[in-house]
Amino acid sequence: MPRKKFDISSLPKYPDLSIEQRLWDAGWAHIAGIDEAGRGALAGPVYAAAVILPAQPERTRILAGVRDSKQMTVSQRERFEPLIKEIAVSYGIGFATAAEIDEIGILPATRLAAKRATDSLSLIPDYLITDYLKLPDIDLPQEHFVKGDMRSLTISAASVLAKTARDAHMRLLDDQFPGYGLSRNKGYGTKAHRAAIQKLSKSPIHRQTFQIKD
Q: What single string gives the DSSP state of each residue in the chain? A: -PPPPP-GGGS-SS-BSHHHHHHHHTT---EEEEEEE-TT-SBS-EEEEEEE--S-GGGGGGGTT---GGGS-HHHHHHHHHHHHHH-SEEEEEEE-HHHHHHH-HHHHHHHHHHHHHHTSSS--SEEEESS---TTS-S-EEE-TTGGGTBHHHHHHHHHHHHHHHHHHHHHHHHSTTS-HHHHTT---HHHHHHHHHH---TTB-TTS----
Q: For 122-142, what is the mean pLDDT?
A: 97
Q: Which of 4-18, 176-190, 191-205 has the lowest mean pLDDT?
A: 4-18
pLDDT at 14: 87
Q: Check whether 89 has a pLDDT greater than 60.
A: yes
Residue-wise pLDDT for 48-83, tens only, equals 999 999 999 888 899 999 999 999 999 999 999 999
User: Is-above-0.85 flag for pTM?
Assistant: yes
Q: Which CATH class is domain 15-200?
A: alpha beta
Q: Check whether 8 has a pLDDT greater than 50.
A: yes
pLDDT at 1: 46
Q: Check whether 25 has a pLDDT greater than 50.
A: yes
pLDDT at 97: 98
The mean of the pLDDT values for the chain is: 94
Q: For 178-196, what is the mean pLDDT?
A: 97
